[in-house]
Structure 1
Amino acid sequence: MKYRVASVQYKLADIASFEQFAEQVTHYVRNASEYGTQFILFPEFMTTQLLSIGDGEGKALTIDRLPEFTEAYETLFASLAAEYGVYIVGGTHVVDVGDGKRQNTAHLFHPNGQIDRQPKIHLTPTEVSEWSMSPGDGLNVFETAFGTIAMLTCYDIEFPEIVRMARAKGADVIFCPSCTDDRHGFHRVRYCCHARAVENQVYVVTTGTVGALRKVDFMRANYGQAAIIAPNDIPFPPGGILSEGVINDDMLVVADLDLSLLEDVRAGGSVTTWRDRRTDLYPDWS
């Protein structure tokens, strides 16, 4: 099976209304649809742009106000997925989960209107201390017309065990929305995406925010690049990069994912990392 994915380098800039956010999102989806894509990935924390709308007194909204946009966010992305007949990983959005808790949650919008959610499992110190986030407590994989996928957000990809679990549950493609503010954070995530692709013989589709929100704390700097990553083996590119963007530019990148090639390298590649796990020495996450 083969399908085409697009990964969006979403440019953050201060806005004055939800309608401006919707226009920008629609632009990227329409652009991706012109390339015949079946999946579109947006970055982590893209909806923090809505905080820049402000409180009417020149100050940005605070993070606890972001869940107020959940219904509008879901309606927008669900309608675009249906209109363009595509699956959209709508980056992440902060949602209320009860008991005063909120989670940074990746959303998968299906063309038929179904919405799947995966809370971020591993939280950075800033998410905990400054934004009072709560971690997700479980890993899900999701069935689509193009096979099984997982959504692991930014810091999640830095933990090999959770990606092992996703592969053991049948995921062939990991979608990794990300948001990093400097080169250190960007390269941590990017190098780990490559490592997880090699270890598990999967595709990893990743992207990050670019631009700046001048009014919103902790979103004033962004350093990002989209990439579509494959295992480092024949018949993939030697560097494991199917496509990548220009760092910090407003753009999207596109590539085709051929799931049959993953099966080929798992069965008889130069290395067979998934098959050669030493589960007698360390746990089998399946």
Structure 2
Amino acid sequence: MDPRAVRLATLAWKVERHASLAAYAARLDALVAEAAPRADLLLMPEYASMELAPTLAAEPGEAAELVAMVDAYDEVLAAMRAAAVRHKVWLQPGTLPMRSGGIIINRAPLIRPDGSLAFQDKWQMTRFENERWGVSRGASPRVFDTPWGLVGISICYDSEFPKHVRTQVEAGAWLVLVPTCTDSLAGFTRVAISARARAIENQCILAVAPTVGSAPWSSALDENVGAAGVYGPADRGFPDDGIIAEGALNAPGWVYAEIDAGMVETVRREGAVLNHRDWPRAPIEPVTRAVFS
């Protein structure tokens, strides 16, 4: 195993209702405490913190829930930082909405064990975010320095766009974290298949963390479908199907995997195919219309 090996845990988060922000913080802390003995880097789902929104909202409804969470941004982020510090782990605690320059964006922090952090914003908005919530695009793709090498974050829908992940891979990321929140099997299928495709075409590793379960008391998180998983290229040194670890559909809980950058470097050098190398670096020639004769 490469000395840069990381023990990774990715969570299928079962949505629950909370009586207060303190109750949400306690649950977050308990989930981190469960995984911390077995993992160095923890991944949680997109919008998982929105389960707190109905408690904080002044009235029912999507708009009120979003405003309530934006207003509680500082306190929610503080709870996330406290959990990472208390349990001495690297934590990607999902995403939370925030105001930025007059707009609302969907932001994913990566928190170090000392509480310092950096952010990846969602780049491509879903129809729900764009048409009903009014959530806007944030900053462009980034990579994060970690003890295990450079890591990227592609939030849910972003993973469905090859160039988003490819930009991070070309900047040096060998692992890309995908916090996700999908309300149907079709939606989760798009994310899961996209993650596996990105792993193949970039010869890298992607980890997916979804929300799961029903929340009829929440306008934002009413239905949630998914499975936690860690995926690599279907090639030498990896499972034949590319599935490094995967939970059952809609089964809450942590999924664990021990991975390292050396696995990626080896398959990029010795794989049966060399997708990462063979990715077109120059523009493909313009498409022409075929002529039938």
Q: TM-score, normalised by structure 2?
A: 0.92
Letter in 1 for 2:228: A
CA drift at 1:121: 0.1
Runs of 4+ in 1 over 6 A off after TM superposition: 56-60
- Determine helix, strand or coil for the equivalent of 2:255: strand
Alignment deviations for residues 30-50 of structure 1 (CA, whole Å, 9 cap, x no partner): 110122x11000000111111
Q: Is 2:98–2:106's contact at 8 Å kept on the other side of the alignment?
A: yes
Q: Is 2:50–2:220's contact at 8 Å kept on the other side of the alignment?
A: no
Identity among equivalent pairs (%)? 30
Quickly say closer, same or farther: Cα 1:163–1:55, change in 2 above 3 A. closer
Distance 1:25 1:165 in 2: 31
Distance 1:38 1:168 in 2: 25
Distance 1:157 1:58 in 2: 31
Letter in 2 for 1:183: L
CA drift at 1:212: 2.4
Distance 1:155 1:253 in 2: 21
Higher mean displacement: 244-253 or 199-208: 244-253
Counterpart residue number, 1:69 = 72
* Mapping for residues 201-212 of structure 1, pairs under 5 Å: 201-212=203-214
- Determine helix, strand or coil for the equivalent of 1:49: helix
* Mapping for residues 1-286 of structure 1, pairs under 5 Å: 1-35=4-38, 37-55=39-57, 61-99=64-102, 101-282=103-284
Distance 1:97 1:216 in 2: 25
Higher mean displacement: 68-77 or 210-219: 210-219
Q: Is 2:231–2:243's contact at 8 Å kept on the other side of the alignment?
A: yes
CA drift at 1:15: 1.5
Alignment deviations for residues 222-258 of structure 1 (CA, whole Å, 9 cap, x no partner): 1011001111111111111111112112211000012
- Determine helix, strand or coil for the equivalent of 2:201: helix
Higher mean displacement: 152-161 or 111-120: 111-120
Residue ranges of structure 1 left out of the alignment (5+ in a row): none
Quickly say closer, same or farther: Cα 1:59–1:118, change in 2 above 3 A. closer
Higher mean displacement: 249-258 or 187-196: 249-258
Quickly say closer, same or farther: Cα 1:59–1:157, change in 2 above 3 A. closer
Q: How many residues align?
A: 281
CA drift at 1:279: 2.5
Residue ranges of structure 2 left out of the alignment (5+ in a row): 286-293
Q: Is 2:203–2:275's contact at 8 Å kept on the other side of the alignment?
A: yes
Distance 1:57 1:180 in 2: 24
CA drift at 1:215: 2.3
Quickly say closer, same or farther: Cα 1:54–1:71, change in 2 above 3 A. closer
Letter in 1 for 2:20: S
- Determine helix, strand or coil for the equivalent of 1:33: helix
- Determine helix, strand or coil for the equivalent of 1:274: helix
Distance 1:113 1:255 in 2: 24
Alignment deviations for residues 151-175 of structure 1 (CA, whole Å, 9 cap, x no partner): 1100000000111110010001000
- Determine helix, strand or coil for the equivalent of 1:275: helix
Letter in 1 for 2:33: R
Bigger Rg, structure 1 or 2: 2
Higher mean displacement: 64-73 or 260-269: 64-73
After superposition, the CA RMSD in angstroms is 1.7
CA drift at 1:55: 4.4
